[in-house]
Amino acid sequence: MPYLDHAATTPMRSEAIAAVTTAMAQLGNPSSLHGSGRHARRRVEESRERLAAALGARPSEVIFTSGGTEADNLAVKGIFWARRGADPTKRRIVASTVEHHAVLDALDWLAAHEGAEITWLEVDATGLVAPESLRRALGDDTALVTVMWANNEVGTLEPVRELAAIAREHGVPLHTDAVQAVGAVPVDFAASGADALTLTGHKLGGPPGVGALLLRRDVAVVPLLHGGGQERDVRSGTLDGPGAVGLALATDIAVAHQPDEAPRLAALRDRLVDGVRRIVPDVIVNGHPTRHLPGIAHLSFPGCEGDSLLMLLDARGIECSTGSACSAGVAQPSHVLLATGAEAACARSSLRFSLGHTSTDEDVDAVLDEIGPVVERARRAGLFV
Amino acid sequence: MKVLAAMSGGVDSAVAAARAVDAGYDVTGVHLALSAAPSTLRHGARGCCTVEDANDARRAADVLGIPFYVWDLAERFREDVIDDFVAEYAAGRTPNPCLRCNEKIKFAAVLDRALALGFDAVVTGHHARLEGGRLRRSVDAAKDQSYVLAVLTPGQLAGAMFPLGDSTKAQVRSEAADRGLAVAEKPDSHDICFIADGDTRGFLSRQLGATAGPIVDAVTGDTVGEHGGSFGFTVGQRRGLRLQRPAPGGEPRYVLSIQPKTNTVVVGPGELLDADEVTADRPLWTVSRPGDRFDCLVQLRAHGMVTPATVSVADGAVTARLHGTQRGVAAGQALVMYDGDTVLGSATIASARRATVRS
């Protein structure tokens, strides 16, 4: 089954499945004081150290969460509340227009209910934020900057290091959602200059339901969850030992493989894009021509509805996406594509193929075998919408 | 044969899809998202367009083991059904949006797209029979939906499948339970799906604005009350008029007509609602047109009485001379013509009158 939707979720690595399974059989609340508790705590702390080492962070900078959405919310809301609490004039958040909904909707909520003011950093036609635009956007009232490391739809890599340096000059913390980046491109938390970084397990071969916020020790954050005071008092809740084990191991493996895996995926992706171009000459390749995730190809097929394409490919056993998954199942025109200046019709005619650690040449061949007739049929159907 | 099952999230369409699977078709389920901003949860028995309904449809498709997708038809639905509904009321008529939806959405936009994508037919959970291209009433008279399907042409019917026509609603529910479909006990949807709170008058006043105007007695010509907006009244309506002056004889008064140009609602005694001649335009034939003049049965509103009539067709209009009278015929509703329980066609009622003198 050609699975080309690794950006939605990627198969769990067998090593991670084994490690999680083993850990689930082991008793102990990491906060308990007896032997079982100490053993459980040890597994969590070793995982914390392993995760930190893989990502250029200090162990004390790792806050385990339930996943990317929680980490994004914790960073965006928590840092905003902490900064505004310390200085009520700091109520502005600077963010790119192409953030994931876990950031965008948190920002909308802060604007609607907490008096936050948002300054949007526009992107160019490739989805890229210009660092100079951040310089112009920063002011005395800025509480936080949030710009993703890699875009989940078109795959564009944002200049996080330059943005973080500019934010640092102004004494403003920067959060980056690196959910798609970790394991796909080199990510070094300390070297990036970011103050907070989101990652999640199921995008890199780890288990779903566990992620982390890397948070510098000098950045204050107001918790979303109150309770037992776990995780620096920032994220209460009984620690998910097996989740932490699986996340750390999968991250470690993905990061170790990244130097070999990235060129392999880039070659597959380029073959996919070149092949589709030959078969469908008017296809539009979205995103940045070079600064992109190695495994993502985001394509628009003029005259087709994305959901027709998806359905026709699905019927042929090829799994991809029209963009980021939506709870209602209704394909909305992508806010990312609209932000790059694409027409709504173009935004609705898109497919995202995303490759990952299990992708092969056969997967690409399958797409190239089917895409011609599928596009032709979807074009005919496109006339009726 | 590949078929597309339109799945609302209700029990009927789930069982219809299940029967198509049993019949050996290659079935794909599709939920039609008709609202641009669906509510998350369903409230009461109204509507079929919440995210919860989409999830119910998805669960049913999972149980049947068929692929499932959501198609966004909100824009088409607004243009072809909701805007038409509002415009019809603004013109003083009483539309039936379910007919429009079948004519323009389910068996046009959806069917055309399905055929283009390689499907051979669209399966729905309508209670009606389709045999040899002939559209017939359901065996369950109380649930029969042939009236709202009478706008379909032979070409549209050729691409339609109604697997429930031979069953009663009770049988469908019991079959759903036997199949382990969680929607077996889900309440029937009723009223108008895009007016989630069921308040048609409130919906129309938001769309059209509410301007107060007179309620005039047709017999005396006197103004007998005031209304808060002429739309939202239905011909034949008796309750909710809040008339200030009783009729001279004390008999009840009914809405006889709505005149949007003068923002007037005309009321009068019930016998003035009796009509024996109905004219209707935009005829659509489910079979080839029976002739210029023929006897048949006509039904003048959903779940309305059926009455024998002599129908003549000329210049794109239908005139039905009823053998007897019908009360409260509303412009904008469909006149549906039947031969026994077989649908011949439909037309949109333009006017109704009493052509013969009462004996």
Average pLDDT, chain A: 96
Query: Which residues 327-366 of A have a C-beta within 8 angstroms of B?
Result: 327-331
* Domain identity same for B288 and B251: no
| Domains defined along chain A, listed by start | 14-253 (3.40.640.10), 258-382 (3.90.1150.10)
B54 domain residue, yes or no: yes
Partner-chain contact A311 B112, CB within 8 Å: no
Q: Specify the pLDDT at position A241.
A: 97
Q: What is the pLDDT of residues B177-186, one digit of tens each?
A: 999 999 988 8
Closest residue, chain B, to A328 (C-alpha): B51
Going by C-beta distance under 8 Å and a sequence separation of 6 or more, which residues neighbour residue A344? Answer: A333, A338
E-only strand ranges, A112-205: 117-121, 142-146, 174-177, 196-200
Span B336-357, pLDDT tens digits:
999 999 999 999 999 999 888 6
Residues B291, B215 share a domain = no
Return the pLDDT at B241: 84
Residues 3-42 of B with CB under 8 A from A: 28, 31, 33, 38
pLDDT value, residue B315: 87
Contact B38 A328 (CB under 8 A): yes
CATH of residue B289: 2.40.30.10
Percentage of chain A exceeding pLDDT 90: 93
Residue window 106-145, chain B: list those with CB within 8 Å of chain A: 109, 112-113, 116-118
Q: Cβ B117–A385 below 8 Å, yes or no?
A: no
Question: Is B79 part of the contact surface with chain A (CB cutoff 8 Å)?
Answer: no
CATH code (residue B30): 3.40.50.620
Structural domain that includes position B333: 273-353
State yes or no: pLDDT of A324 exceeds 60. Answer: no
Q: What is the pLDDT of residue A54?
A: 98
Contact A367, A351 (CB under 8 A): no
When pLDDT is averaged across residues A47-56 and rounded to a whole number, the result is: 98
What confidence tier does B197 reach under pLDDT thresholds 50, 70, 90?
confident
pLDDT value of residue A118:
98
Does B202 map to a domain? no
pLDDT of residue B210: 82
Are B23 and B167 within one domain?
Answer: yes
Q: What is the mean pLDDT of residues B19-36?
A: 94
Q: Are residues B343 and B297 in the same domain?
A: yes
State pLDDT tens for residues B273-323.
999 999 999 999 999 888 999 999 999 999 888 999 999 999 889 999 999
Of B54, B109, B113, the CB nearest to A328: B54
**C-alpha distances in Å from residue B252, one per residue of B16, B160, B268, B271, B272:** 45, 45, 8, 11, 12
Indicate the angle between helix axes A241-279 and A35-54, nearest 10 degrees: 30
Give the residue from B271, B292, B316 where a domain finishes.
B271
Do the beta carbons of residue A64 and residue A247 sit within 8 Å? yes
Q: How high is the ipTM of this complex?
A: 0.87
The residue from B244, B271, B298 where one domain ends is: B271
Q: Are residues B93 and B237 in the same domain?
A: no
Chain B residues close to A308, C-beta within 8 Å: 113, 117
Whether B159 and B256 share a structural domain: no
Please report the pLDDT score of residue A330 as a whole number.
63
Q: Is residue B31 part of a domain?
A: yes
Same domain, residue pair B267 and B146: no
Rounded to a whole number of angstroms, the distance from the CA of B333 to the nearest CA of chain A is 28
User: In the predicted model, is pLDDT for residue A384 greater than 90?
Assistant: no
pLDDT value for B311? 97
Question: Per residue in B105-122, is it b (16+ CB within 10 Å) or e — as a string?
Answer: bbbbbbbbbbbbbebebb
Whether B106 is covered by a domain: the verdict is yes
Residue A43 confidence (pLDDT) above 60: yes
Average model confidence (pLDDT) for chain B?
91
Same domain as B255, residue B292: no
Q: What is the pLDDT of residue A331?
A: 63
Inter-residue contact A316 to B28 (CB < 8 Å): no
Give the pLDDT band (50/70/90) at residue A385. low
Same structural domain, B126 and B218: no
Q: Is residue B335 part of a domain?
A: yes
Residue of chain A whose Cα is closest to the Cα of B41: A328
Residue A44's H or E segment, with its range, is: helix A35-54
- Residues B169 and B305 grouped into a single domain: no
Q: Does B58 touch chain A (CB under 8 A)?
A: yes
Does B328 have pLDDT greater than 90? no
* CATH value at residue B248: 2.30.30
Cβ of B117 and A312 within 8 Å?
A: yes
Query: Looking at B271, B286, B320, which one is the last position of a domain?
Result: B271
Whether residue A380 and residue B116 make contact (CB cut-off 8 A), yes or no, is: yes
Q: Find the mean pLDDT for residues B212-237.
A: 88
The answer to whether residue A384 neighbours chain B at the CB level (below 8 Å) is yes
Residue B327 included in any domain: yes
Same domain as B171, residue B64: yes
CB contact under 8 A, A307 and B72: yes
Residues B107-116, mean pLDDT to the nearest whole number: 96
Assigned domain for B115 exists: yes
Question: Are B259 and B136 in the same domain?
Answer: no
Of A118-122, A292-296, B160-164, B266-270, the poorest mean pLDDT is in: B266-270
Residue B44 clears pLDDT 70, i.e. is over it: no
Residue B197 domain-assigned (yes or no): no
Given a cut of 80, is residue B245 above it in pLDDT? no
State the total domains in chain B.
Answer: 3
Q: How far apart are CA B267 and CA B235, in angstroms?
A: 9
Interface probe for A, chosen from B117, B122, B156 (most Cβ of A below 10 Å), is B117
